[in-house]
Structure 1
Amino acid sequence: MSHTNIELTTPPEIEFYYWPTANGQKIAIFLEEAGLPHIIHPVDISKGEHFAPEFERVSANKRMPAIVDRGANVSLFESGAILLHLAERTGQFIPRDANGRAEVLQWLFWQAASLGPILGQMVFFRNFASEQVPFAIDRLGKETARLYDVLEKRLLDRSYIAGTYSIADMAVYPWLIQHENQGQTLDKYPNIKHWLELVSARSGVKRAYIKGEEVRPTTQADAIRANLFE
């Protein structure tokens, strides 16, 4: 099996449509880690800006994040697709060999298909639902714990999810950093705790979260989330 990387003939010229949610932070981390010049266009989801017609032209699903890569003449929505595009575009944070690439992709899609949806619902039902739904919290709690167990076992003999730091780590980290809102304690997951410490210490990750604070301070976040779910 062979794979041809997208040729980087010109530097990426990235317009980044962003709000500092977990999915938005994935792309912010990549841009900072790769040192890619970019322009941030805040999309305030608390004000419904993601439904604006001009944003729909960039993101058909009316969800952020989204990017316009002027250098490649392409626009993309869906955080997993954006991470993969940027990794292939730059040749960074994804292995060039087929086996290494497959390792990264399976965990990238695990996050997009399993971890993100379940943890997102868990955060909502535990913290922001207008009424408590015990059945939903119990069911989602069990699946959240199962997914944590999957990652805990994966990290038993490696520092990063796919061996070396990659877009898989960037995709998972913004969700796991919210473990308290998901009802999880890291005492039960020493490998995840160590991994979170490693990723949190990276300068690119720190810069991404600083930019997130500039766009939407944490002190506003809970009130904004509550308004979203009224």
Structure 2
Amino acid sequence: MRPVASSSPPRNTAPLRAPRFPILTVDERKLTPALGYVFNRKWLDPCESLVSILWKFERANALPGHVVARLLGPDIDPYEGVVPQLGIVDVDRLHESLRVPADALRAALLPAIPRRRYSGVFRFCRRCVAHGYHSVLHQMESNALCPAHGRALVSACETCGYEAPYRVNVRLLEATYHCAYCGASYGGQGWTPNRSPWMTAEYRRAFTRQYFQRYFG
């Protein structure tokens, strides 16, 4: 076994490969990554929810949930969290932290329209979440089926029956495509950077079409 440290490296040793992703440190004063991070805008899909975006950001950078939750604002309790809705979440702060287009972040939040009804628990399509995708459209109570797959939307864990509140908090962020209570998978492996993209043009059109019909139609 190679010693932890030595005065000179052994001969004929292949150079170590650079890490796939940068090792991050956290600026405790701002509770944001201090040395940069990895996030590609091409990883975003149409009508993707804030929870889905933050799960990708968290997994790509190997960040713990409490650090990601702090990005929502200094006055927000990361364990209580907030409902991801326009007027509640600070879009400008997230835009500065994630470098995700502000328009994409606004589309990732529930509109602040009183007459629109949204589920208070996390609802998802098992086929979508298997690929690491969740949409704001999945939260609309008027939608019983996934716009792309036509499958029934579900909220309860198949293993324990737990329904996670639709709040961006540490518990939900650290679950990453799993039940926040028992840890069972919601389906598949979820999203990883080397498995992107997955959404076909047909599915992208289906989500976009329904988004505009529901919100602007």
TM-score (norm 2): 0.29
TM-score (norm 1): 0.28
Larger Rg: 2
The answer to which structure, 1 or 2, has the higher relative contact order (CA under 8 A, 6+ apart) is 1
Larger proportion of helix: 1
